[in-house]
């Protein structure tokens, strides 16, 4: 019996945030080397500015509110507790669309896309182009649980995503999109479950050269 998705909200305890910020502020910098470029590694001034941004200007609670603006859930898929957005499309026949992030990214990458995809009419588009948007966190990323005892990669993640879509959420067919590691996962979805994929879109399509002896005319 597939696990029924449970509602989820991001709520990081303030002591956790304070502890992280303290570690950033207290970071010990190496001596500054006489170079304005990156020839000796990360640029000293750049790293100082980055630390200042995270410790004085970045507002985690603002990001947390942006995450919580859309419905989030967790569901048990095999041995993993998978965190995901599930935003129902506002239209007569929304198409299910699975979006997979990459490394070192997160579901935050898709926040600006969820609205236009799920509610295109509010953004000047057609109500007939609405999607049900599903955005999971890769195992070990964000609020999804980590692998235990054995690694997980694109092949196994694609299997988890297919179970999430077809068993936990009950979709018969769906589309998929991804970049970076998300592209590899999306390619695996198409390879493993071609009859269940309506189509895929990649923004990091790569291929390895094949030896001449293994190439067909096609």
Q: Which residues pair with 188 in a beta bridge?
A: none
Mind listing the pLDDT tens digit for each residue in 110-144? 999 999 999 999 999 999 999 999 999 999 999 99
Mind listing the pLDDT tens digit for each residue in 50-97? 999 999 999 999 999 999 999 999 999 999 999 999 999 999 999 999
Rounded Cα distance between 45 and 37, Å, is 10
- Give the gyration radius of the chain's Cα atoms: 21
> Could you tell me where the beta strands, DSSP code E, fall in the chain?
6-8, 72-77, 80-87, 95-100, 131-136, 174-178, 197-202
139: Cβ contacts below 8 Å, ≥ 6 apart: 80, 82, 145, 146, 147, 152, 157, 160
Rounded Cα distance between 164 and 140, Å, is 16
Q: Which residue matches tokens 């935003």? A: 87
Mind listing the pLDDT tens digit for each residue in 7-38? 999 999 999 999 999 999 999 999 988 888 99
Rounded Cα distance between 35 and 200, Å, is 45
């Amino acid at each position: 019996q597939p696990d029924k998705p449970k509602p989820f909200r991001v709520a990081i305890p303030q002591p956790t945030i304070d502890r992280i910020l303290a570690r950033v502020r207290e970071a010990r910098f190496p001596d500054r080397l006489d170079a304005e470029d990156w020839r000796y590694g990360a640029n000293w001034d750049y790293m100082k500015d980055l630390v200042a941004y995270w410790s004085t200007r970045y507002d985690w609670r603002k990001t947390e509110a942006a995450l919580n603006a859309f419905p989030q859930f967790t569901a048990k898929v095999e041995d993993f507790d998978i965190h995901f957005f599930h935003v129902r499309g506002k239209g007569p026949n929304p198409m299910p669309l699975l979006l997979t992030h990459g490394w070192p990214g997160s579901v935050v990458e898709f926040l600006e896309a969820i609205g236009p995809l799920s509610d295109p009419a509010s953004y000047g588009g057609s109500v007939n182009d609405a999607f049900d948007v599903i955005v999971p966190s890769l195992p070990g990323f964000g609020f999804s649980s980590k692998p235990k005892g054995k690694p997980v990669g694109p092949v196994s993640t694609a299997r988890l995503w297919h179970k999430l879509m077809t068993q936990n959420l009950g979709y018969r067919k769906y589309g998929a999109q991804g970049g970076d590691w998300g592209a590899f996962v999306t390619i695996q979805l198409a390879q493993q479950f071609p009859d269940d994929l309506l189509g895929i879109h990649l923004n990091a399509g790569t291929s390895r050269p094949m030896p001449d002896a293994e190439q067909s005319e096609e």
